[in-house]
Amino acid sequence: MYNEKYDPFDQMTFTYDKCFLCGNELTSNNYSVEHIFPKWLQNKFDLWNQDLILLNGTQIKYRNLTIPCCKNCNTTMSKCIEKPVERAVEAGYEEFIRLDKKIVFQWLNKISYGMLFKELSLKQDIRNPHSPTIYNEEQLKQHHMQYMFLKSIIDGAEYIEKPYSLLIFRLRLEEEESRYWAADNPFLKTFFIRMNDIGIIAHLMDNGYQEGFFMEFPDMVELLNKELHPIQFAELCAKLLYKSSLFNRNPFFTIVFDKDKKMKNIIAHPLSGDAFDEWSQEDYARCLEVYWQKWGLKFDDIYKGNDLVITYLRNEDGTFKDFYN
């Protein structure tokens, strides 16, 4: 049954008695759970018993990060996004870059939205009207679009212009280091993930603006064809995260429905002009410090004063810093 009227944001119903996607009541016949971090990913990178901290400070194991989903939606999601991504990750970078980027976007968007659903439903469980809200109304309105993106999968809607930025890098696989790492920032809508030799940097809702910006710089585009050291990938993540914090536009979308009230098209309106506040090298260095924690680099090692920030991407003569040749 297609429930065209369901929209969890109408009544803020992030509850466990309905499918998170189509809103149909869950019964013993159609009930299933959707793992926010899919089972194949948890198996592949041994995540089941690892802990994750939610925004309200709750500690939760990856295996317990599930959201309510009907069997139909579960099957559709599996076919449309999980299986293709799983196969491509299994095959590695060369195959992965051939995958339709829209599928990769939807996959990241599902994890990000799943986390939001979890945060909001946990909040309802607490039932404490005095506890501070994690998201304000304006932020929630923006997340509403994430839900519509996901729903477009079951509606079979097409995008006109893409709503996201997505860059895929080749990373060197080294035995001693972690082959999985992910960072999702629900407020800035960035998502960074590493899976083996695949490194993805995404903004889930900027209508392609930051990807377009990245592609304007030949020394950045060059990096798409290089094999990166993890410290270089981390540097790029810090750049995009900081840049996203300066993003001062609210992307605009139009949704076209068909006569059955299913989504037919999502039109992402391109942004033009200067969409960023002014970049501060010092603030950027603070961001880098977080991403370079693993390598023990401190702010004073990174920021040298007078707007000078160290980089592992380039040599002093401006050429690419190649760790492997």
Residues in touch with Zn ion (CB under 5 A): 19, 21-22, 70, 73
CB of 80 to Zn ion, least distance (A): 13
Cβ proximity to Zn ion: between 74 and 244 the closer is 74
- E-strand ranges in the chain read 31-35, 51-53, 59-61, 66-70, 158-160, 165-171, 180-185, 190-195, 198-203, 227-228, 252-257, 263-269
Could you tell me the smallest distance in angstroms from the CB atom of residue 20 to Zn ion?
Answer: 8
- Closest C-alpha among 63, 78, 70, 64 to residue 21: 70
CB of 17 to Zn ion, least distance (A): 12
Name the residue among 87, 114, 91 with its Cα closest to residue 103: 87
Task: Tell me whether residue 156 or residue 270 sits nearer to Zn ion (CB atom).
Answer: 156
Output Rg (C-alpha) for the chain, integer angstroms: 20
Residue pair 33/290 in contact (Cβ under 8 Å)? The answer is: no
Task: Provide, rounded to whole angstroms, the least separation between the CB of residue 262 and Zn ion.
Answer: 14
C-beta of 8 vs 199, nearer to Zn ion = 8
**Strand, helix or coil at 252?**
strand
- When the beta carbons of 75 and 250 are compared against Zn ion, the nearer one is 75
Cβ proximity to Zn ion, 32 vs 185, nearer residue: 32
CB of 28 to Zn ion, least distance (A): 15
